Structure 1
């Protein structure tokens, strides 16, 4: 792989929270995509932190769109650019609220139509820009402003929903592994058709951990098997390096949970159910990669 470009397309003047991992992710996404790129951003943290024109922190064109419409907008934009013979990268950069919940219908439609674009969901597991209300991506047991006693239901499996559309390329990533993210964005943009990358983006104020722990928190998610890094090309699964190692001998789940205030005072019953979820996912991905299912 060639060296990561020095050019910056996300400037330092964002109004992001200290320790914001989604901004770190976007920095590497844009480095991989380069200047011939347009971002479609629905209502989310990114639509707030970018700042107002002409003082925006973005050095690529950005189209801010309604919560539910990002993929539909990108679909029309991609078709228009392709009809003009332009190969401009059209990238949706959306949070979990605008993907897992409100924007799911337009995402499904764009993938069914075969739109040539990249959809990236940066997942901080709640509605971050409006005060950390629970979303469909909020995990079991997590405290949010609307689940003060802990969310009673598991996280929606967005990746299986996207997988059902048979995209030519999809992957997971994590802000704590920026080189892995950079490579996956480069690969996705080399493929024609609808692509999808799901990024775990730890959030200090929402997850209630110290701002300097953002990278550590992301690595613990991977090391415990809570978040599995992989690529799926033409339906074939390949587990990414950090998760290959972690899945053989996962770190204790408590290592990941204890540093987050949102998981304070979990009951033993919920903790056991969370452990079982992690174990089931590890087994499922291991079997699939081995060709056993």
Structure 2
């Protein structure tokens, strides 16, 4: 896919109140380019519920429902059923942060998956509660410093992808804000399925991760090149590792090259670093084996 294939229409305008270097804004831009104007966004409490701008000057050029932290997938369920009953094919997309997905919103998400709701659930993951001061979430990696784990988180990141896969979705994928064309393609594909689909997107955050704002794209690429964040699709249960991760798996960069530029990992203890390396190696091996069997 080349950039000329991406629609020129913009459904997220330049008047957001996002932080400088915000990668979730970049991500949402390409999500909406893939979904088009016949789309409704359901957004629980998160950074995106704030960066829309102040009414009536919203940056969003599609309808948006801002709902409570735990209610996004439940709201999307009712909305999708109403649209389908009326014979409409409107894309219903939940766009939620990691706090509203891995933690507070996980029950309604699981329920919507189990019911077979026709919607796309996107988790943009900046690995903390960014909107309220970067407190640790279930997505915060082991060893990362947040405002509530000032010496480093002592437990590992929750595996939301395994939880989603346990619902036997017809399509799910991972993506990263540093690879927007990959995001576009995966969102477009997810929307061709009837029923629930899920995309988990890594969204580096300059103030939360403590790196310079101009390094956002570099940070996402380092995550993928180190193998810390793997890009793949699982379609009808068949796993396919995406090209950037395929390349990285042949010769991944040292994990330290990804961690070192981030202030949140400054002074990480040797034990936590070793566990991260071990889990990374295990995940690479597991995904490679699963793809080989598919």
* TM-score of the aligned structures, taking structure 2 as reference length: 0.98
Aligned residue number for residue 29 of structure 1: 31
Residues of 2 paired with 1:14 and 1:61: CA distance?
Answer: 16
Q: Describe the SS at the equivalent of 2:95.
A: strand
Superposition pairs for residues 198-277 of structure 1, below 5 Å?
A: 198-277=200-279
1:81 equivalent among 76, 80, 83: 83
Residues of 2 paired with 1:227 and 1:137: CA distance?
Answer: 12
**Which digits, 9 at most, give the CA deviation of each residue in 1:28-87, with x for residues without a partner?**
000000000000000000000001322000000000000000000000000000000000
Q: Describe the SS at the equivalent of 2:293.
A: coil
Residues of 1 paired with 2:208 and 2:216: CA distance?
Answer: 12
Q: Does 1:109 align with 2:111?
A: yes
Q: Describe the SS at the equivalent of 1:165.
A: coil
| Superposed structure 1 runs of 4+ greater than 4 Å apart | none
Q: Does 1:280 align with 2:282?
A: yes
Cα distance, 1:158 vs structure 2: 0.2
Task: Identify unmatched segments of 5+ residues in structure 2.
Answer: none
Cα distance, 1:140 vs structure 2: 0.2
1:188 equivalent among 187, 190, 193: 190
Residues of 1 paired with 2:222 and 2:241: CA distance?
Answer: 17
Q: Describe the SS at the equivalent of 1:196.
A: strand
Q: Describe the SS at the equivalent of 2:123.
A: strand
Residues of 2 paired with 1:106 and 1:199: CA distance?
Answer: 19
Aligned residue number for residue 167 of structure 1: 169
Residues of 1 paired with 2:71 and 2:96: CA distance?
Answer: 11
Residues of 2 paired with 1:53 and 1:166: CA distance?
Answer: 39
Cα distance, 1:240 vs structure 2: 0.2
**Which digits, 9 at most, give the CA deviation of each residue in 1:99-119, with x for residues without a partner?**
000000000000000000000
Residues of 2 paired with 1:49 and 1:273: CA distance?
Answer: 35
**Which digits, 9 at most, give the CA deviation of each residue in 1:93-143, with x for residues without a partner?**
000000000000000000000000000000000000000000000000000
Cα distance, 1:166 vs structure 2: 0.4
1:6 equivalent among 5, 8, 33: 8
Q: Does 1:98 align with 2:100?
A: yes
Task: Identify unmatched segments of 5+ residues in structure 1.
Answer: none
Q: Describe the SS at the equivalent of 2:74.
A: helix
**Alpha-carbon RMSD:** 0.8
Q: Does 1:54 align with 2:93?
A: no
Residues of 2 paired with 1:119 and 1:8: CA distance?
Answer: 21
* TM-score of the aligned structures, taking structure 1 as reference length: 0.99
